[in-house]
Amino acid sequence: MVPVSEQTDQQDRARTSGTTMAFLGTGNMGEAVLAGALAAGVQPGDVVATARRDERVAHLAERYGVRTTSDNVAAVAGAHVVVVGVKPKDVGAMLDRVATALAPGAVVVSVAAGLPLSFFEQRLPAGTPVVRAMPNTPALVGAGVTAVVGGAAASEDDVALVERVLSGSGHVFRVAEKDMDAFGALAGSGPAYVFYVVDAMAEAGVLLGLTRDVARRLAVETVLGSAKLLDETGEHPVLLREKVSSPGGTTVAALRKLDDGGVRAAFLDALAAARDRSRELASEHA
């Protein structure tokens, strides 16, 4: 798994500018990808986004200055890149409607959870380049991580274009499709684990006498600062943990309680459960 880039440089922005894009089913995750595409250099006038509800269509047009419609077939006409963000249960019927309207060589990007490349390749014209992408929710604030994998007909240039577009919403990693379930278990579901830990830390702070607002702020800032320290120093988390853990001190006492509670083993079990459930969901849509 190799990170593609940490930020979009001016050359990549220039190469992304002029790329016409259609976003089909622009919910929260689709909107995050749209915002990232604009940050990566795609121009609002080159984007059309679809949504079912009138208020959603109005929101996208007002906030991003993109063209909007509720007609998926009209949206894909002439688009270089088509991002599919509709709910997984609706993707098959949607592909049946838009398949013949795709421009020759258009790259179809799936951000629909759990659907393998083969699901798209079986429903689209032969030779259609398909790229599967899995962003996580911090993409909503430009701090996401996204996995990408190209299908059989996707060239290196196709995948690289998608990577440039997605880089505006955070870090992009190229993976093998067999690793997508593991990526989802770690990075896709990962924000929920962090929110869980922050909530537990804040609740503990309240029990120790802090006000709820102060406890929450302290927990959030501690996680932000610790992540930044990990990222900027490049040190192994064990080494950084040891620097906080004085022999016989308070941190060692706390960590012993976490070990006694089986926290590490629980994380291993949790990620395995997420991976297994992802496989089950994929089989349901096969």
pLDDT tens, 139-167? 989 999 999 999 999 999 999 999 999 99
Torsion of Cα atoms, 154 then 100 then 167 then 58, to 10°: -170
Q: How confident is the model at residue 10 (pLDDT cuts 50, 70, 90)?
A: low
pLDDT at 282: 81
pLDDT at 104: 93
Task: Look at residues 158, 180, 202 and tell me which one is the last residue of a structural domain.
Answer: 180
Whether 191 has a pLDDT exceeding 70, the answer reads yes
As a whole number of Å, the end-to-end CA separation of the chain is: 26
Range with the poorest average pLDDT among 65-74, 227-236, 275-284: 275-284
Range of the structural domain that residue 195 is part of: 190-283
pTM of the model: 0.87
Nearest-5° Cα angle at 105, 174 to 145: 20
Residues 102 and 135 in one domain: yes
Task: Look at residues 118, 150, 180 and tell me which one is the last residue of a structural domain.
Answer: 180
Minimal CA–CA distance to 111: which of 135, 91, 93, 137?
135
- What average pLDDT score do residues 259-284 get? 93
Judge whether 160 and 5 are in contact, CB under 8 Å.
no
Residues 204 and 230 in one domain: yes
Residues 200 and 173 in one domain: no
Residues 118 and 216 in one domain: no
Which stretch of DSSP H or E encloses residue 165?
Answer: helix 156-166
Whether 235 has a pLDDT exceeding 90, the answer reads yes
Would you say residue 185 lies in a domain? no
Average pLDDT, the chain: 92
Q: How confident is the model at residue 11 (pLDDT cuts 50, 70, 90)?
A: low
Judge whether 38 and 47 are in contact, CB under 8 Å.
yes
Whether 113 has a pLDDT exceeding 90, the answer reads no
Please tell me the distance from the alpha carbon of residue 55 to that of residue 232, in angstroms, as a whole number: 42
Please tell me the distance from the alpha carbon of residue 280 to that of residue 278, in angstroms, as a whole number: 5
CA distances 255 to 51, 193, 244, 259, Å, are 48, 18, 11, 6
pLDDT at 8: 41
